[in-house]
Amino acid sequence: MEKNKLQDQIDDYLRYSQIERGLSSNTITAYRQDLEEYLAFVKKEGMDSWPTEASDVDAFLARQYDLNKATSSISRLISSMRKFYQWLARQNIQKLNPMLEIDLPKKERRLPVALNQKEINDLLAQPDIKRKLGLRDRAILETLYATGMRVSELINLELQDLHEDLGLVRVLGKGSKERLIPISSVALHWIKQYQKEVRDPLILKAGQNDEHIFLNSRAKQLTRQAIWQMIKKYCQSAGITKDVTPHTLRHTFATHLLENGADLRVVQEILGHSDISTTQIYTNLSQKHILQVYQKTHPRL
């Protein structure tokens, strides 16, 4: 009877979260999964009410680690349980809250995947520049590698954002923050060639104007998905076996700058990071490169 009451409390809490707090169905589903997993533990331990001791909660979380759950999943689980216990207290169902003594696990900081110089050169050489889409794709790849901008920033670039005489491009980043970043003469060359041979004739043929620089074959703005499908395709044809993510060229850009002596603050500004700790993750990659160079070149090793 009591154990059914615990299930009823979960149902009441989720109903409250959906109706009163207006949480999405996806969030409600995630909460239900987390709390019913906790309920299964409580039942297995033969408890008739929600644990009030932090040691019991620790035992439950230890089992999650034993199942090799990701740190992010366990953090979400703890967050779900915290909110549930707060609701129990507000409803005068249970005042003692063991979650006050439970800390979130330290966030895992995985090193980003970056391409080495040979891999990036091979990737840039993949598009067939004799074809219109190939010329466009080459210009896209060169721009991403030259600037380190996000894909979402690239698809929103407009002709007015290019300042060729200054070698700069205006980017609208997260939170609608503007920044001016350098762009190489090589990337500008490919953009100009694409614009002259592909983009402008396409606009003329379509009979409609679009200020975005990079367009699809129907003279419409490109999507993020289209660009990353294209990049994955070229990585595959270049024989690159690394796990390429939507940020691979951005990671590669930052890593190569630091490997060649760029100041961390400069890289932070170019990438548009508000906090330098976000940029510092790339120093781990560049330090690895420094160690490799040292081991290869020092005469007394």
Catalytic site residue from 212, 250, 251, 256: 250
Establish whether 82 is a catalytic residue: no
Please state whether beta strands 162-163 and 168-172 pair in parallel, antiparallel, or not at all (unpaired).
Answer: antiparallel
Establish whether 179 is a catalytic residue: no
- Using DSSP's 3-state secondary structure scheme, residue 254 falls into helix
Write down the residue that tokens 């700790």 correspond to. Answer: 277
Establish whether 163 is a catalytic residue: no
Sheet strand arrangement including 162-163: 162-163, 168-172, 178-182
d(CA 51, CA 82): 13
Catalytic site residue from 138, 150, 251, 256: 150
Establish whether 233 is a catalytic residue: no
Catalytic site residue from 5, 90, 95, 174: 174
Catalytic site residue from 69, 179, 247, 289: 247
Establish whether 16 is a catalytic residue: no
DSSP letters along 32-47, please? HHHHHHHHHHHHHTT-
Establish whether 150 is a catalytic residue: yes
* Helix residue spans in the chain (DSSP H): 2-19, 25-44, 54-66, 71-90, 117-124, 132-147, 151-155, 185-194, 200-206, 224-237, 248-259, 264-271, 276-297
Catalytic site residue from 83, 132, 232, 273: 273
Active-site amino acid positions: 150, 174, 247, 250, 273, 282
